[in-house]
Amino acid sequence: MDVAEVKKIPLFALLSEKDQKHVAQLADEIQTPAGTHLVDEGKFAHEFFVILDGEADVVHDGKTVATLGPGDFFGEIALLAAERRNASVIAKTPMKLVVIFGPNFRSLTGELPEVAGRIEEAIKARSRK
């Protein structure tokens, strides 16, 4: 993945250039059409996503509970807790995403406390909703 793209992502924007390069090495960029199931409720977690472009619906127990857009991320809860996904995320529009696979995500959050802290803040905010 290109470092210039990493710099545009709010989660990574305040990192040093060295750390942004590290994120770029661990991440891949993918594109997906509308209707794609990015993660499925009840399945085991294998990756973490950041939305670069497009929108996705978060579906829990068959009901849409949120819509995510550029800058939003998902997939971290199940990866960090080594549990099954607690919701499905389905592309509402064509999307461009950053994907970081499980072992790389755990390495990244271990090496970059700033990123881990922001992710934990997001988890807490979501659990309050």
Q: Which residues contact 31 (CB under 8 A, 6 or more apart)?
A: 94, 95, 96, 97
Per-residue tens of pLDDT for the chain, all 129 residues: 889 989 989 889 888 999 999 999 999 999 999 999 999 999 998 999 999 999 999 999 999 999 999 999 999 888 877 688 989 999 999 999 999 998 898 888 889 888 888 888 887 877 666
Nearest one of 71, 43, 41, 66 to 127, comparing CA atoms: 66
Nearest one of 21, 70, 65 to 50, comparing CA atoms: 70
Domain ranges of the chain: 28-128
The correct answer on CATH 3.40.50.1820 for the domain covering 28-128 is no
pTM above 0.95, yes or no: no
Is 37 exposed, middle or buried (CB count within 10 Å of its CB: 0-12, 13-18, 19+)?
Answer: middle
